[in-house]
Chain A
Amino acid sequence: KNQVEQSPQSLIILEGKNCTLQCNYTVSPFSNLRWYKQDTGRGPVSLTIMTFSENTKSNGRYTATLDADTKQSSLHITASQLSDSASYICVVSATTLVKTIFGAGTRLFVKA
């Protein structure tokens, strides 16, 4: 069964601290993995997209890693800011976009 599981479900950190969000998947055959940031009540915004051959990709303070062997990905946020408070969604696609599975998301709260 194709699944995407994210952990933790929610996370509270202090401004300026780093954090790492996890995504485990069983989607097959794997095509790509994407991380999105979704502010409350808004549409998701793409942070990174990685294919099978890529194991790390950065977008400013966001760095995503991918281990295709263990089917795990992480999103590392460096020097968190209050504006990082949002849901972070891991999305894994099979070889066609017909089979695209969304994780339930990690809700991140950054406190001053």
Chain B
Amino acid sequence: EAGVTQSPTHLIKTRGQQATLRCSPISGHTSVYWYQQALGLGLQFLLWYDEGEERNRGNFPPRFSGRQFPNYSSELNVNALELEDSALYLCASSHYNEQFFGPGTRLTVL
């Protein structure tokens, strides 16, 4: 069974640009979660999508947005990038009570 996949692996942008990160959940999982992990810090919850709907979002500004497609894959968009947006962005899909994480996308903002 394939795990959660994320693309790209690394992404380098400059301040003010937009970044798009992609996630494909495990087959059969309908929920997708996005987390931000800044260097040396814990995971911060960003967004939760289930059945195509945004169910909840963390304490992040509106320039962090996303969507979930009919095949349950998801995109995370970050507009007007700031230097502090540099982090590892992790996607997870869930089955019942357990979340399975992807390898992450390392976003660097210069």
Contacts and interface: CB of A to CB of B under 8 A. Distances in A.
Interface of A: 31-32, 34, 36, 41-46, 49, 51, 89, 91, 93, 97-98, 100, 102-105
Contacts of B99: 34, 46, 91, 97, 100
- Majority DSSP secondary structure for residues of B touching A: strand
Given A34-B99, A43-B92, 6 more contacts: A43-B4, A45-B101, A97-B94, A98-B55, A102-B45, A103-B42
A46 B5 CA distance: 16
B42 A89 contact: yes
B48 interface: yes
A53 to B, nearest CB: 13
Nearest 9 interchain pairs by C-beta: A43-B101, A104-B42, A102-B43, A44-B101, A32-B97, A43-B103, A43-B104, A98-B56, A43-B102
B42 A102 contact: yes
Given A31-B97, A32-B97, A97-B94, A42 B104 contact: yes
Interface residues of B, number: 25
Contacts of B46: none
B41 interface: yes
Contacts of A98: 48, 55-56
A49 B98 contact: yes
B45 A100 contact: yes
A100 B94 CA distance: 12
Q: Which of B33, B43, B45, B92 has the most CB of A within 10 A?
A: B43
Nearest to B43: A102
B22 interface: no
Interface in B43-91: 43, 45, 48, 55-56, 88, 90
